[in-house]
């Protein structure tokens, strides 16, 4: 009987591996092999068949490249500003839309999530039109008397960065809201009823019940948002083109320019990509350790 049980378990295990094997092979071929090839290429310089081993030269060059250092600062700013905003606004919207007495919840949820379904190119076109010198935003500000004439938002470094960050928050906050909404719907309503009987206010319930129970989801969305912010590309390319004067250039955008727009330097591009990989890995590890409550 025992041998028969072992045989059944072995067959079940083999069946599971049979289903997993194609996905594992694709994952290795499409992800890990290119990463390994990029790692090797990051220690080389030159082009095509003339690629030669250069050691850590490409890595040392990064810290002397003023454009790359500028792109690092820009990307860091996008991460520090947009990640907290997306999480905080996402939680607040999820709490508001989780109210059982709220009518037309489905309509509100769809409207808030809709920007995430819009392509990044279309989103960039929308924001370029809104913040153009003769666009809707300038028209409102002029009519309100705040500005005397249209302001070139995308033509000045500070305002261009602000517009780019507004676009990121507008596009992704609804996506984060869905995660928090799903987590809220798994919380037993009886917990809130018990707290209300004990005299807890809505604010107290939010900080002492909702936020602690949302901690695993907050950690998950935090990791996703930070990884996404470090790899900002489409907004930089389609909205501002990295300008004016590289003031909005993101790291991923600079890597693309180094590979395909300027004189191709794939070894240097791979070195910058490896740096992003390491930064993402380290930040993810720190966040997972900080959010691990197991003893």
Q: Confidence class of residue 172 from pLDDT cuts 50, 70 and 90?
A: very high
Distance of CA 94 to the CA centre of its chain: 19
* pLDDT tens figures, 30-63: 888 888 888 888 888 877 667 778 788 888 888 8
pLDDT in tens, 125-143: 999 999 999 899 999 999 9
Note the pLDDT tens digit of each residue in 86-110.
999 999 999 999 888 888 888 988 8
Largest CA distance in the chain: 88
> CA distances (Å), 220 to each of 79, 81, 183, 185, in order?
16, 18, 11, 17
State the pLDDT at residue 166.
94
> In terms of CATH architecture, what is 65-291?
Orthogonal Bundle (1.10)
| Torsion-angle region of 152 (φ positive above 0: left; ψ -120 to 50: alpha; else: beta) | beta
Segment among 146-150, 199-203, 232-236 with least mean pLDDT: 199-203
Question: What pTM was computed for the model?
Answer: 0.84
């Amino acid at each position: 009987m025992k041998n028969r049980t072992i045989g059944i378990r072995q067959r079940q295990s083999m069946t599971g591996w049979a289903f997993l094997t194609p996905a594992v092979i694709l994952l290795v071929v499409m992800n890990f092999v290119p990463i390994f090839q990029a790692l090797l290429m990051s220690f080389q310089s030159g082009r095509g068949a003339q690629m030669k081993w250069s050691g850590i030269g490409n890595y040392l060059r990064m810290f002397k490249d003023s454009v790359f250092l500028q792109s690092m600062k820009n990307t860091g700013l996008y991460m520090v500003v947009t990640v907290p905003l997306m999480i905080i606004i996402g939680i607040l919207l999820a709490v508001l839309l989780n109210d059982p007495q709220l009518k037309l919840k489905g309509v509100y949820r769809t409207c808030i999530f809709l920007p995430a379904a819009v392509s990044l190119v279309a989103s960039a076109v929308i924001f370029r039109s809104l913040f153009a010198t003769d666009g809707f935003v300038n028209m409102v500000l002029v009519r309100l008397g705040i500005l005397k004439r249209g302001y070139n938002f995308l033509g000045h470094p500070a305002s261009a960065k602000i517009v780019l960050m507004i676009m990121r928050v507008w596009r992704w906050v609804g996506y984060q809201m869905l995660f928090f909404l799903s987590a809220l719907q798994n919380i037993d309503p009886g917990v809130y009823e018990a707290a209300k009987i004990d005299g807890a206010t809505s604010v107290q319930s939010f900080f002492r019940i909702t936020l602690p129970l949302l901690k695993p989801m907050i950690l998950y969305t935090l990791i996703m948002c930070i990884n996404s912010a470090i790899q900002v590309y489409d907004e930089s390319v389609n909205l501002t083109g990295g300008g004016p004067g590289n003031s909005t250039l993101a790291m991923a955008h600079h890597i693309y320019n180094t590979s395909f727009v300027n004189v191709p330097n794939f070894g240097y591009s791979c070195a910058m990509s490896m740096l992003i990989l390491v930064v993402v890995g380290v930040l993810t590890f720190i966040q997972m350790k900080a959010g691990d409550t197991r003893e």
